[in-house]
């Protein structure tokens, strides 16, 4: 008896390998993929602006990495004694204006340098809604985008005008963004996903309209560009798992079993077979590194460390591109 709707996920013609550099940008679901890849020792940079939900914010961030935009103190605004950037997540906010600018520009510089060498961009879009600054905000809409923001920083609602982007507008901004990125780094390949996290504050109906516009625009981009692919994270959670057992207590975010299932499907379809075999070996070492002994001075634990040190050292010698420095340091405590 079949308990799940089958889904056909095409294999990438040139799947991801350990030697590849991967930049991930987008919604919080992006970080589920990014954290898993980072833990398994892929070369990863994720969300240099912090979590971004809309295609406008994502495209704007990529544009800033290409030109290595430097932010100034005048680009920030103060709310509740904290300095924020309309282009960045609150994790870049700071009570010190100078410190906020410093950490923003440090991330910008890192993203610019990494983007030059990046092989894969994994982009997860979360919402078609945009929030545009009104005249009541401390920074009026003077920019070309009419003041659209990447993060509202819990500012008063009357500072913003909420709109849903049209499909053609999303197509246009994604198309222009990809052309600039390919011009900056011609070897770039792209994987688009749409986040399965529902923006329930918009309402169930409006959330579905929002997701539908993203899906339509992304499929248009995938059909128009070479080396641009779609991974169906949204469809896997919404249509294949299709049960509230796979959601967190808020009934919105996929839970651990759901995200693990999505990651399994991602590896099967987007990662090279030999790389998947190596991932299994690295996973064992990473798990051993997390082991916390009750009696660290016992011979048994010293043998455990020694065995894993040799195993890690052999793996590093066989695959010198892997960064196993943390594990080697830990297992060398004999």
The tens digit of pLDDT for each residue in 287-332 reads: 999 888 888 889 888 999 999 999 999 999 999 999 999 999 999 8
Considering the domain architecture, whether residues 278 and 252 belong to the same structural domain is answered as no
Lowest mean pLDDT across 119-128, 135-144, 186-195: 135-144
Q: What is the pTM of this model?
A: 0.92
Count how many domains the chain has.
2
pLDDT range class, residue 26, cuts 50, 70, 90: very high
Question: Would you say 129 and 199 are in contact if contact means Cβ atoms under 8 Å apart?
Answer: yes
Residue 12 lies in a domain: no
What would the DSSP string read from start to end of 101-167?
HHHHHHHHHHHHHHHHH-SEEEEEE--SEEEEE-TTSSS-S-STTTTEES--TT--GGGEEEEE--H
For residue 138, pLDDT over 80 is answered with: no
Residue 113 lies in a domain: yes
Of all residues in the chain, the percent with pLDDT exceeding 90 is: 79
Residue 11 lies in a domain: no
Residue 13 lies in a domain: no
Boundary-marking domain end, from 271, 305, 322: 271
**pLDDT score recorded for residue 326:** 92
Instruction: Look up residue 208 and give its two tokens.
Output: 């579905």
Instruction: Look up residue 7 and give its two tokens.
Output: 């889904």
Considering the domain architecture, whether residues 243 and 116 belong to the same structural domain is answered as yes
Using a 10 angstrom Cβ sphere, with 0-12 exposed, 13-18 middle and 19 or more buried, the burial of residue 301 is middle
Per the structure, the complete domain to which residue 314 belongs is given by 273-334
Closest CA to 271 of 36, 51, 5: 36
What would the DSSP string read from start to end of 8-43?
--PPPSS-B-TT-EEEEEESHHHHHHHHHHHHTT-E
What is the torsion angle, in degrees rounded to the nearest 10, for the CA atoms of residue 210, residue 35, residue 275 and residue 267?
Answer: -30
Of all residues in the chain, the percent with pLDDT exceeding 70 is: 96
Considering the domain architecture, whether residues 124 and 248 belong to the same structural domain is answered as yes
Considering the domain architecture, whether residues 226 and 245 belong to the same structural domain is answered as yes
Considering the domain architecture, whether residues 229 and 107 belong to the same structural domain is answered as yes
Residue 71 lies in a domain: yes
Considering the domain architecture, whether residues 153 and 283 belong to the same structural domain is answered as no
**pLDDT score recorded for residue 334:** 64
Boundary-marking domain end, from 221, 245, 271: 271
Residue 16 lies in a domain: no
Residue 152 lies in a domain: yes
Lowest mean pLDDT across 39-48, 147-156, 177-186: 147-156
The mean of the pLDDT values for the chain is 92
Considering the domain architecture, whether residues 189 and 291 belong to the same structural domain is answered as no
Longest dimension (CA), the chain: 69
For residue 136, pLDDT over 70 is answered with: yes
Terminal CA-CA length for the chain:
53
**pLDDT score recorded for residue 15:** 96
CB atoms within 10 A of CB 177: 21
Considering the domain architecture, whether residues 260 and 280 belong to the same structural domain is answered as no
Residue 317 half-sphere exposure toward CB, CA atoms < 13 A: 6
Counting every residue, how long is the chain?
Answer: 334
CB atoms within 10 A of CB 34: 22
**pLDDT score recorded for residue 140:** 46
Considering the domain architecture, whether residues 225 and 307 belong to the same structural domain is answered as no
Considering the domain architecture, whether residues 216 and 321 belong to the same structural domain is answered as no
For residue 77, give the 3-state DSSP assignment.
Answer: strand
* Residue range 67-118, pLDDT digits in tens: 999 999 999 999 999 999 999 999 999 999 999 999 999 999 999 999 999 9
Residue 154 lies in a domain: yes
Considering the domain architecture, whether residues 248 and 298 belong to the same structural domain is answered as no
User: Hunting for tokens 């011009």 — which residue is that?
Assistant: 183
* Residue range 238-253, pLDDT digits in tens: 999 988 888 889 888 8
Residue with more model confidence, 206 or 3: 206
Considering the domain architecture, whether residues 180 and 327 belong to the same structural domain is answered as no
**Burial letters 95-117, b for 16+ CB under 10 A, else e:** eeeeebbeebeebbeebbebbee
């Amino acid at each position: 008896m079949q308990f799940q709707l089958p889904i056909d996920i095409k294999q990438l013609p040139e799947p991801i390998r350990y030697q590849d550099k991967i930049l991930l940008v987008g919604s919080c679901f992006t970080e589920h993929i990014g954290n898993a890849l980072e833990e398994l020792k892929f070369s990863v940079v994720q969300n240099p602006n912090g979590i971004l939900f809309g295609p406008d914010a994502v495209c704007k961030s990529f544009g800033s990495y290409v030109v290595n935009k430097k932010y100034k103190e005048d680009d920030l605004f103060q709310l509740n004694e904290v300095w924020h950037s309309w282009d960045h997540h609150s994790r870049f906010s700071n009570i010190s204006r100078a410190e906020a600018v410093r950490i923003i520009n440090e991330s910008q510089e890192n993203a610019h340098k990494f983007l030059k060498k990046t092989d894969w961009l994994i982009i997860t879009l979360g919402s078609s809604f945009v929030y545009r600054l009104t005249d009541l905000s401390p920074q009026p809409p003077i920019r070309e985008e009419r003041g659209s923001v990447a993060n509202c920083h819990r500012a008063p609602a009357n500072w913003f005008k909420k709109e849903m982007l049209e499909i053609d507008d999303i197509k246009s901004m994604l198309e222009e963004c990809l052309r600039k990125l390919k011009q900056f780094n011609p070897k770039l390949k792209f994987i688009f996903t749409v986040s399965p996290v529902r923006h329930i504050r918009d309402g169930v109906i409006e959330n579905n309209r929002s997701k539908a516009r993203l899906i339509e625009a992304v499929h248009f981009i995938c059909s128009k560009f070479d080396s641009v692919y779609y991974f169906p994270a949204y469809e896997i959670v919404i249509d294949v798992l299709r049960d509230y057992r796979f959601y967190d207590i808020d009934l919105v975010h996929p839970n651990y079993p759901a995200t693990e299932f999505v990651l399994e499907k991602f590896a099967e379809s987007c990662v090279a077979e030999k790389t998947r075999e190596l991932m299994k070996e690295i996973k064992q070492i990473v798990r051993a590194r997390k082991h916390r002994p009750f009696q660290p001075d016992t011979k048994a634990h010293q043998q455990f460390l020694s065995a894993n040190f040799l195993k890690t050292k052999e793996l590093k010698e066989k695959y010198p591109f892997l960064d196993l420095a943390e594990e080697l340091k830990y297992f060398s405590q004999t």
